[in-house]
Amino acid sequence: MKSLALFVAIIAAVLALPLLFPSDAGKQSSLVETGLPWQIELLPDGATRVFGLTPGRSTLTDARSALEGDVQVALLVTPGETGAVEAYYENITVGPLAGKMVLSLGTTPEQREQMLGRARKVKYMDSSTRRIELSEDDLAQMATAVIVAIAYIPSANLDEQIVLQRFGVPAERIRNSEHREHFLYPAKGLDLQLDAKGKELLQYVAPKDFARLREPLVAK
């Protein structure tokens, strides 16, 4: 899915914190943490719930209720694309974990074209990507927009051992570069990109939409 590439484009920096996933050894908290990245609930109808949200069903209003922190909503447009409306949490904490999160909101090309015409401000994030500041009316309408995908960028690095321990054995692994490998969990709607030289990227969609994450990885 082309709009998913915008998740990475808007991340300019990452937080520098200690290890994201502490060892099971040592003193344990008496509290049971919930809403963690690997706690993906499989719902009876085939949908999933993660971070308290259900991709393909929950709205931006639901996200504001379930997640803490300030969220920025904007239309991002790259050359040759119709753009995507995304809600960006620059600093977010889920349980004891910190990171960044981007929610891709469901909109039509017609809606985005109209939003562009009503834009309050246009800012270039790099040499090509435009960040469109939406009008007040458009921002209000986005409150009920459905979250079609969630991207989570953890503050600290993961490794293969942590991934297998926390998320389980993937249904498929695809290496698309010397230092990047994707761990695919279609039943959970999760594509976990492990990056030996950069930051990890976890992308969640409804399981029925998982092909939108996998197809770009296997395209010739």
Whether residue 32 lies inside any domain: the answer is no
- 101: helix, strand or coil: strand
Whether residue 188 lies inside any domain: the answer is yes
pLDDT tens-place string over residues 159-177: 999 999 999 999 999 998 9
pLDDT tens-place string over residues 52-87: 999 999 999 999 999 988 999 999 998 877 799 999
Whether residue 31 lies inside any domain: the answer is no
Residue-range definition of the domain harbouring residue 157: 2-7+39-218
Whether residue 59 lies inside any domain: the answer is yes
Whether residue 17 lies inside any domain: the answer is no
151's CB contacts (< 8 A; 6+ apart) are 4, 7, 8, 101, 102, 103, 104, 201, 202, 203, 204
The 8-class DSSP code of residue 52 comes to T
Whether residue 22 lies inside any domain: the answer is no
Q: For 176-187, what is the mean pLDDT? A: 95
Whether residue 94 lies inside any domain: the answer is yes
pTM: 0.84
Neighbours of 190 (CB within 10 A): 25
Whether residue 174 lies inside any domain: the answer is yes
Q: pLDDT higher for 218 or 125?
A: 218
pLDDT tens-place string over residues 72-81: 999 999 887 7
Tally of domains within the chain:
1
